[in-house]
A = this chain, B = another copy of it.
Amino acid sequence: MLVNTTYVRVRYADTDKMGITYYSKYLEWFEVGRTEMLRDIGFPYTQLEKEGIGLPVIEAYCRYHRAATYDQLLRIVSAVKTLPRVTIRIEYKIYNEQQELLVDGYTTHPFIGKAGKPVRAPKALLEVLQPYFKADPLDLPSEADARRGANGKNGKTG
């Protein structure tokens, strides 16, 4: 599993007259979450675009547990739980400074190529992602793993 944590500060611009964050803003923060996740693994979204791949959204879901209020520093946790094939699904949880869950949700994105047609996840991205989807690093390595030299990337998900 690939997991990333990043932070956003609630702006006045994000609030509405109910005194809380307007409900569509969380989708912007989901964008911040997945963008920083891709940057963090060394495959920023700008590189995907340079290779002619776009990741439009085909599905978005958001459950609102508690309101984010002005000036709070929010923690965005983004996760990819299965290696993408023709789509990538990212799950999000957003917490306030008291570590209360404010929102959870997900977005689903196809990989779209230069011709505007769906394509498979690019190999270069899969190579970067694969280590995160190896066995749980706390599991004892299998004999096979031990023989291969138990790839060092497991630690990344630890």
Q: A13-B28, A60-B60 are in contact. List 14 more A-B contacts (CB 8 A).
A: A12-B17, A12-B31, A12-B45, A13-B16, A13-B22, A13-B31, A16-B17, A18-B54, A24-B24, A24-B28, A44-B71, A45-B71, A58-B63, A58-B64
- Between A and B, 9 residue pairs with Cβ closer than 8 Å are A9-B32, A11-B32, A12-B22, A13-B22, A17-B18, A17-B19, A57-B64, A59-B63, A60-B64
- Asked if A15 is an interface residue, CB under 8 A from chain B, the answer is yes
- Asked if A56 is an interface residue, CB under 8 A from chain B, the answer is yes
- Asked if A23 is an interface residue, CB under 8 A from chain B, the answer is yes
Please report A residues at the B interface, Cβ cutoff 8 Å.
9, 11-13, 15-20, 22-25, 27-28, 31-32, 35, 44-46, 54, 56-65, 67, 70-71, 107
Do B23 and A60 have beta carbons less than 8 Å apart?
A: yes
Give the distance in Å from the alpha carbon of A73 to the alpha carbon of B31 in the complex.
Answer: 16
Decide yes or no: A16 and B18 within 8 Å by CB, A70-B46, A71-B45, A71-B46 being known contacts: no
Contacts of A67 in B (CB 8 A): 56
- Chain B minimum-CB-distance residue to A28: B13
Do A18 and B56 have beta carbons less than 8 Å apart?
A: yes
Closest 5 CB pairs of A and B: A24-B27, A15-B17, A24-B24, A23-B57, A13-B28
